[in-house]
């Protein structure tokens, strides 16, 4: 019962925050991007490795690439401690509604990325909050009804290919096809 009330309050807070700041969508393809942000679920080591590979691949062609990962545990694991271009926040850095504290995500959200690539496969309040707060000009991620107000382009996956590797493959395919700066 308490979880239902809590998620309802979190949804209302997201909806209220969404209406506060109008934003101008700036479509941008990978060939034109100067700054790219990657938002991902980083609890699982395999999902983290996919995000890490994407970051390294993008760094070969884009001057500024940073990643922010959410770890749905109280503490970070050993594999979270090494990467320089990654930032993480975990469950202990959330308020009682599940929103990250401002100081935790402020730098990432306030960076004016040309493209924000969202690699979250599940609907999680902390990641939705970062998507909403991000000042990125163009936001891309997985199709879901809840992402309709948070993302500019959503990629739909086949039921048999619903995994983060396929999501990355499809997002890159569509971003490379965009010829608009």
Can you give the residue ranges of every domain in the chain?
A: 2-177
The model carries a pTM of 0.88
Per-residue pLDDT of the chain (181 residues; tens, 9 = 90+): 445 665 666 666 666 655 556 678 888 999 999 999 999 998 888 998 999 999 999 999 999 999 999 998 887 777 766 667 788 898 898 888 888 987 879 999 999 999 999 999 988 989 999 998 899 999 999 999 888 888 999 999 988 888 999 999 999 999 999 886 5
Three-state secondary structure of 34-90: CEEEEEEECCCHHHHHHHHHHHHHHHCCCCEEEEEEEECCCCCCHHHCCCCCEEEEE
- Fold (CATH) for 2-177: Rossmann fold (3.40.50)
């Amino acid at each position: 019962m308490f979880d239902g009330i809590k998620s309802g309050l979190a949804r209302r807070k997201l909806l209220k925050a969404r209406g506060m700041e109008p934003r101008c969508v700036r479509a941008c393809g990978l060939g034109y991007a100067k700054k790219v942000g990657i938002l991902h679920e980083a609890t699982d080591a395999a999902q983290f490795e996919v995000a890490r590979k994407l970051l390294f691949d993008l760094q070969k062609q884009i001057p500024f690439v940073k990643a922010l990962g959410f770890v749905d545990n109280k503490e970070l694991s050993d594999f979270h401690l090494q990467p320089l271009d990654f930032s993480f926040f975990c469950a202990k850095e959330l308020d009682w509604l599940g929103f990250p504290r401002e100081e935790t995500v402020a730098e990432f959200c306030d960076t004016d990325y040309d493209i924000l690539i969202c690699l979250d496969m599940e609907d999680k309040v902390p990641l939705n909050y970062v998507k909403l707060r991000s000042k990125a000009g163009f936001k891309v991620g997985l199709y879901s009804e809840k992402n309709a107000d948070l993302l500019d382009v959503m990629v739909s996956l086949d039921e048999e290919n619903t995994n983060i590797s396929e999501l990355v493959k499809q997002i890159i395919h569509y971003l490379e096809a965009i010829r608009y700066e």
